[in-house]
């Protein structure tokens, strides 16, 4: 069999290559690093996590991304296998040691007999490559972006995200800060005390908000004015500008936390830091993406009690995000309608996040493998998390999608992308959580159960087709 060419060895490309090879199809995986890098990548490892080390919630019953994790595990995902094997404690979230994770993915792909890894930038897929998966991510190299634009005839869309600073653990003053997960929630491998918390009084919070608003920011004239922020990743100073209380209801919310140094004084606001590496020597400031200039970040963040002597392993910053107008350009198996030899996967399709990108890579790999074998693989049902993400991207098979291609914006997986249940589920009307909450949890749980059942049917159909 002729090889399928996967361009980009990030979250999506690595998973796509793995799925192809596991389905018996030879793969050439092209990764431009270390020959050429991006503004965010630091290593030459495959599946490098460029910012947070979290795959977010691992709750497969009540959280859409947790459900996506579970579906990926059932589909033999390499990204989930490497993530599970390199977990660090993070409450109910699945967070990973970033180097251990990337090493595990690199090792698995390098040692697979059907995978060849070629280092070097691909400015344009060769004409004699009859099956290509483009998974070059939000920081696709400019030459390849130009080739894609040339073929699609579409102006590429772009917006920007911001990244949060990382602090050396031993520079945090634990006589002021303390370890605790919100509501003492213990996730997989966690203790219920996984986060470092820094408390602020009302006066400190007000002064902090002022410092954020007046702080010196980097200005990105070229594209800032024309491109909107992604709401899940707003810079902290933009949140502060939206209202003085916004942060207290967002990343600095003080609820579910008790300061053991002053148990009788309720903090007015709390900054949380989450473990960033297996050793526990680095902690990232949760929700503190920022475009403050580096010197300003050091000055302003050191006003947070506990961080007055903080040493930063990495400061925050802004980045560009490149994605195509997928609902208009792609078919339901992620092929470019204008040239069906090219498939797209990962963040460049307009999904958002590590897990979603890998899931789209997983689907692209399976679609390309079936095609190479001369089979047709139906898209996963829209009732599954994979199907819901795919429907968002391809604008396809869910009638409830209201946004047309012109308003297409990247989005994390969420229960709003799933078709509604045929009937409202039973729930405990006397629940201590209250009726509304109990109803909502029962609904999420029913959507998740339906998803896993329908995924099982989809997997079963593939197994049957392969056997025939
Ligand atoms: P990537 O993982 O970026 O992989 C693309 C790969 O393609 C790279 O290895 C790149 O070197 C390679 N490449 C690019 N062009 C070429 C070419 N022409 N030829 C060959 N190789 C090429 N998501 C989260 O869930 N949490 C976060 O905290 C988060 N923070 C982010 C911070 C930054 C700065 C950025 C840029 C993105 C962030 N994201 C975050 C989004 C994140 O990038 C994606 O979720 C995920 O990495 C996308 O996976 P991908 O495989 O599509 O792209």
Which residue has tokens 């919070």? 205
Asked if the model's pLDDT at residue 405 lies above 50, the reply is: no
191 vs 419, more confident: 419
7, 8, 120, 276: which to mutate for ligand 1, most atoms within 8 A of CB? 8
Q: Using DSSP, how many helices (H) and how many strands (E) does the chain show?
A: 13, 17
Please say whether the beta carbons of 143 and 283 come within 8 A: no
Distance from residue 355's CA to the centre of ligand 1 (Å): 11
Asked if the model's pLDDT at residue 225 lies above 80, the reply is: no
CA-proximal residue: ligand 1, atom 9 (nearest): 10
Distance from residue 10's CA to the centre of ligand 1 (Å): 6
Identify the residues whose C-beta falls under 6 Å from ligand 1.
Answer: 7-13, 30-33, 38, 40-41, 50-52, 121-122, 135-141, 144, 161, 163, 319, 346-348, 353-354, 357
Q: Name the residue among 154, 287, 158 with its Cα closest to residue 228.
A: 158
Please say whether the beta carbons of 358 and 77 come within 8 A: yes
Residues 6+ positions from 340 with CB-CB distance below 8 Å: 331
Mean pLDDT value across residues 325-334 = 90
DSSP, collapsed to helix, strand or coil, labels residue 54 as strand
pLDDT band for 45, please (50, 70, 90 cuts).
very high
177 vs 318, more confident: 177
Please say whether the beta carbons of 319 and 40 come within 8 A: yes
Residues 6+ positions from 243 with CB-CB distance below 8 Å: none
Please say whether the beta carbons of 369 and 465 come within 8 A: no
Q: What is the ipTM of this complex?
A: 0.99
Which residue has tokens 């490098």? 48
Length of the chain as a residue count: 468
Rounded distance between C-alpha atoms, residue 141 and residue 147, angstroms: 10
What atom in ligand 1 is closest to the CA of residue 348? Answer: 52
Asked if the model's pLDDT at residue 320 lies above 90, the reply is: no
Q: Which two tokens stand for residue 14?
A: 């690595």
Rounded distance between C-alpha atoms, residue 75 and residue 279, angstroms: 30
DSSP, collapsed to helix, strand or coil, labels residue 297 as helix
Mean pLDDT of the chain: 89
Output the pLDDT for position 273.
96
CA-proximal residue: ligand 1, atom 23 (nearest): 353
Q: Which two tokens stand for residue 388?
A: 């819901």
What atom in ligand 1 is closest to the CA of residue 56? Answer: 25
Which helix (H) or strand (E) is 320 found in, with range?
Answer: strand 317-323
Output the pLDDT for position 397.
34
Distance from residue 140's CA to the centre of ligand 1 (Å): 8
Which helix (H) or strand (E) is 323 found in, with range?
Answer: strand 317-323
């Amino acid at each position: 069999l002729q090889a399928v060419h996967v361009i980009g060895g990030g979250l999506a490309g690595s998973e796509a290559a793995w799925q192809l090879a596991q389905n018996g199809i030879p793969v050439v995986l092209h990764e431009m690093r270390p020959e050429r890098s991006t503004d965010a990548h630091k290593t030459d490892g495959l599946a490098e996590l460029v910012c947070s080390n979290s795959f977010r919630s691992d709750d497969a019953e009540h959280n859409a991304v947790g459900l996506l994790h579970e579906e990926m595990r059932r589909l033999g995902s390499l990204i989930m296998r490497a993530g599970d094997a390199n977990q660090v404690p993070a409450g109910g979230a699945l967070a990973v040691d970033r180097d251990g994770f990337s090493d595990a993915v690199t090792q698995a792909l390098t040692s697979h007999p059907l995978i060849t890894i070629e280092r070097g930038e691909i400015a344009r897929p060769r004409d004699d490559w009859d099956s290509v998966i483009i998974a070059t991510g939000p920081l696709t190299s400019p030459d390849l972006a130009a080739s894609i634009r040339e073929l699609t005839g579409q102006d590429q869309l772009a917006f920007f995200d911001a990244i949060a600073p990382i602090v050396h653990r031993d520079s945090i003053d634990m006589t002021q800060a303390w370890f605790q997960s919100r509501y003492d929630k213990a996730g997989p491998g966690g203790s219920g005390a996984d986060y470092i918390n820094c408390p602020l009084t009302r006066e400190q919070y007000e002064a902090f908000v002022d410092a954020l608003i007046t702080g010196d920011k980097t200005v990105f004239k070229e594209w800032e004015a024309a491109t909107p922020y992604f709401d899940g990743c707003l810079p902290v100073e933009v949140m502060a500008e939206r209202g003085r209380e916004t942060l207290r209801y967002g990343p600095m919310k003080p609820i579910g936390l008790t300061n053991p140094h002053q148990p009788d004084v309720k903090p007015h606001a709390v900054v949380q830091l989450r473990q960033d590496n297996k050793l526990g020597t680095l902690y990232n400031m949760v929700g503190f993406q920022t475009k403050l200039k580096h010197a300003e970040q050091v000055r302003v963040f050191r006003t947070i009690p506990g961080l007055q002597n903080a040493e930063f392993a990495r400061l925050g910053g802004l980045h560009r995000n490149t994605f195509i107008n997928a609902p208009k350009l792609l078919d339901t198996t992620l092929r470019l309608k204008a040239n069906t030899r090219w498939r797209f996967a990962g963040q460049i399709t307009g999904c958002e996040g590590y897990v979603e990108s890998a899931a789209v890579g997983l689907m692209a790999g399976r679609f390309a493998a079936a095609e190479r074998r001369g089979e047709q693989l139906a898209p996963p049902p829209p009732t599954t998390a994979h199907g819901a993400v795919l429907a968002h991207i391809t604008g396809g098979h869910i009638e409830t999608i209201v946004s047309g291609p012109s308003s297409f914006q990247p989005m994390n997986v969420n229960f709003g992308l799933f078709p509604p249940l045929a009937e409202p589920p039973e729930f405990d009307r006397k629940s201590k959580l209250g009726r509304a909450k109990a109803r909502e949890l029962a609904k999420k749980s029913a959507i998740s159960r339906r998803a896993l059942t329908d995924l099982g049917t989809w997997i079963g159909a593939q197994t049957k087709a392969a056997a025939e």
